[in-house]
Every structure is written in C-alpha cells, then in structure tokens.
Structure 1
Amino acid sequence: MKRSEKKTRALVRSLCAQIHDDDGPQNRHRKEHRDRTGIDRKSMQLCAQVRRSLNGLIPVPSDPAFDNSRLESVEPAPDSARLKVILSVEAPAPAQVVMIRARLAALQGYLRAQVAADINRKQAPVLIFELVPRHEGEL
C-alpha cells in the first residue's frame, strides 16, 4: 500500500464513524478504474485525420488493382499506434484480393509517409489493411 493511500484511509477514518465502499477518493481519479482499451477521443480524432489523408490516396486512380474499391473506415487496432484501415471491394475474386493485398503491401511505406506528412504526431501510426467484400447494391 502506498503512503498516499495510507494517508487517505487515515483521513477518511478520522472523518466518519463507519467506512463504506463509496468513501474515499472518487473512482475516476484512481488509475485502476480508467479505461484500458486505448480508444478515446484523441484516438478517434487521429483516425478521422488518417481517413481524410488516405481518402485521396486510396483507391489509387492509376492502379487497376483498386478498381471498385473504397475506403470504409479507419479504427484503432488496439490503440492509436496501429490503425486498421478497412477497404471494401465489390465482388472480389480470389485473384483480385491477392493482387490488392500485394499492391497495398508495396504501397504501405508510401501511404504511411503521406499520412505522417498530413498529421502532427511524433510517430506516424502503423497502417494495417483489411479487405471486406461489398455487394453490388451497396453504395
């Protein structure tokens, strides 16, 4: 038990006759009650910035591998140091999926450099790409 916790408990005991669960410092000030997922407002702001940055870069206009592909979302995976970029592809054939993944792997350094130029962070996040199928009727 830390010294500050001992002082807090001693202070609480001196102020009340009986100690209950809700006595003492508020839970929001305790470290163990904070959200550990890493997804917070700043992470979501970073995702929005990265999405705006990638919107003009994906799909690559001159690359036939990215025909009928669209940037769907950018999410923290598991925190803002790594971001999952979700691309939807209209009725992908297995050969097309392999071609898109190979092309994304080749473009990953370029895309990360473009994102780093557009956002103001000490380190650019690592981009992880995920392909999901999109049906012909979806916009």
Structure 2
Amino acid sequence: MTRLAGDLGGEDGTDPKEFHAKPWNTPKQAGRKALQLCAQVRDALHQALAGCGDPVLQALTVASVEPAPHTGRLLVVLSAPDAAREPVEASVSRAAGFLRTEVAAAICRRHAPEVVFEVL
C-alpha cells in the first residue's frame, strides 16, 4: 500500500461505494405507523382466512406482516400445518384478490397496499 500512496489515510483501502454512500439511500426501518398498519393487516387477514370456505385457507395462520420495502407493498408470511406446499400456494394465489379486498376494507388508507404472500 505504501508504494501506491505517499501518505496513507483513514479511507485508503476501503470501498469507494461506501465512502460516497448517501444517507437517504440506506434502507429505512419501519416506523410506528408502518408497524401499526402491519398489525391491522395481520388482524384483517386472520379474520379473512378464518371466514374462507376453503379448508386449506382456514388452516393457515399469519406468521408475520412486514413492509417490503415500504408500506405500499407488504410481505405476509403464512404458516401451514403439515400440508404440502404446492396446494397451499395454489389456494393462496387463487384467493389473493379476495384477501387484498378484505385488507382494503379493514384499513383506512386511500390506496390498498399490494400484498405478497409467502408460505412456510
């Protein structure tokens, strides 16, 4: 390193992308309102899944709801007890529109968030 530079500084040998990174480009943590929205969506989905006519959907539980990457899109993690994953994912994808409608009716927002489902 000393052959490449006359004087070594604190930033020598570091990634220039880190040096020039802007604070507004860093991922933000979910604030109080985002967490409140996630809790409302979790409760609405819990009730909507319990009220579905499909027994596969009735057996699902909502493990978590998180902003992904912001509150315009929410990642919903569902857990299925002792079931094959493919039929559960097919049932969830068929009912995705209904579930989003139930979420939109339960929360007070101008635009309903996009809901992305992941089955464990």
Query: What amino acid maps onto 2:71 in structure 1?
Result: S
* Structure 2 gap segments, 5+ residues each: 1-21
Query: What amino acid maps onto 1:110 in structure 2?
Result: F
The C-alpha deviation readout for 1:27-79, integer Å capped at 9, x for no partner, is xxxx9479742511111111011111111112455212235421111111111
Q: Aligned partners of 2:119, 2:51: CA distance in 1, in Å? A: 15
TM-score under structure 2 normalisation? Answer: 0.70
| 1:17-96 matched pairs, under 5 angstroms | 32=23, 36-37=27-28, 39-66=30-57, 68-93=59-84
* Structure 1 gap segments, 5+ residues each: 1-30, 133-139
The C-alpha deviation readout for 1:86-127, integer Å capped at 9, x for no partner, is 11111232xxx2111111111111111111111111110111
Task: State the identity %.
Answer: 38
TM-score under structure 1 normalisation? Answer: 0.62
Q: Aligned partners of 1:67, 1:109: CA distance in 2, in Å? A: 16
Q: How many residues align?
A: 99
